[in-house]
Amino acid sequence: MTQMLKNSSQAAARPSGKQPAHLTVYENLRDQILFGELAPGQAVTIQGLTAQLDAGMTPVREAIRRLTSDGALNMMGNRRVIVPELTENGVEELEFMRKSLEPQLAGRAAQNINSQDLEALKALDDDLNGAIEMGDIGAYLTLNYRFHAMVYRIARAPIMAATVDRLWLQFGPSLRVVCGRYGTLNLPDKHADLLDALSNEDVEAAENAMLGDVHQGMNQIREALRSATMVN
């Protein structure tokens, strides 16, 4: 009897073919956090996201819940959700875990890589260097993540890769702070070492290159964090 009429606002919520809206929102919000578009400590509101992404409330809620379990968002006791701020202890935990896991993934990638994957990685690294030259921080962050993510996919260890992804979500917001402070990085390029090791299928060299890359990255975050806390 009650003739509810349906508005046609669903088109914008589902832009990409058939993917569920909650997945689209999840990926979008995830990228925003991962690439530092949301600053640490910033509040994330449901209604803000429904407006920004032109999505319904339910998909937004689900995305926020997932990212909460991902460690990318923190639910405060009172219904508020924020992007967590990284503490010094947090950096140490993340560094230990990254150093424990990511070299292992790099080593496995060296065992499993084929020429097609290697070409794709090299192309990605070229783009990455281009972004560094241009000083495009956004592109740098995105490509750097995609480079690592591809290495981990090649490693064919999905559980470990997902675990490491979770770690990236927690230092991602701080990475942009680092870049804002120091500009794009001008340290010895560990990606080149890693690519060499992968093309030689040299497991140990790949592990070492990745270890160095992680060490460098976490050191920069630690330093940026330390000088930031001095200001406060």
Partner DNA sequence: GCCGCTAGAATATGATCAAATTTGGCGCTG
Partner DNA sequence: CAGCGCCAAATTTGATCATATTCTAGCGGC
Residues that bind a second copy (CB under 8 A): 20, 22, 58, 61-63, 65-71, 79, 89-90, 93-94, 96-97, 100-101, 104, 156-160, 162-163, 166-167, 170
Is 46 a residue that touches DNA (CB under 7 A)? yes
Contacts 24+ apart (CB under 8 A), 176-183: 176/35, 176/36, 176/137, 176/141, 177/36, 177/39, 177/40, 177/224, 177/228, 178/220, 178/221, 178/224, 179/36, 179/137, 179/140, 179/141, 180/137, 181/224, 181/227, 182/220, 182/224, 183/135, 183/137
Per CB under 7 A, which of residues 8..27 are in contact with DNA? 9-10, 13-14, 18, 20-22
**Residue 214 CB, nearest approach to DNA (Å):** 34
Nearer to a second copy, 139 or 160 (CB): 160
- Kindly indicate which of the ranges 40-48, 127-135, 141-149, 155-163 contains the residues binding DNA, using the contact rule CB under 7 A: 40-48
Nearer to DNA, 33 or 210 (CB): 33
- Cα 174 to Cα 87, 221, 232: the distances in Å are 10, 7, 16
Q: Which does 215 bind (CB under 5 to 8 A by kind): DNA, a second copy, none?
A: none
Burial of 48 (0-12, 13-18, 19+ CB in 10 A): exposed
Is 2 a residue that touches DNA (CB under 7 A)? yes
**Pattern 54-93, binding to DNA, x per CB under 7 A?**
-xxxxx-xx---------------xxxx------------
Q: How far apart are CA 109 and CA 151, in angstroms?
A: 6
Q: Which two tokens stand for residue 170?
A: 């927690």
Instruction: Spell out the alpha helix ranges (H) of 113-202.
Output: 115-134, 137-154, 158-182, 190-199
Q: Which does 55 bind (CB under 5 to 8 A by kind): DNA, a second copy, none?
A: DNA
Per CB under 7 A, which of residues 150..209 are in contact with DNA? none
Nearer to a second copy, 129 or 219 (CB): 219
Bridge partners for 43 per DSSP: 82
**Residue 183 CB, nearest approach to a second copy (Å):** 28
Q: How far apart are CA 171 and CA 142, in angstroms?
A: 14
**Residue 20 CB, nearest approach to a second copy (Å):** 8
Binding residues vs DNA (CB under 7 A): 2, 4, 6-7, 9-10, 13-14, 18, 20-22, 44-48, 55-59, 61-62, 78-81
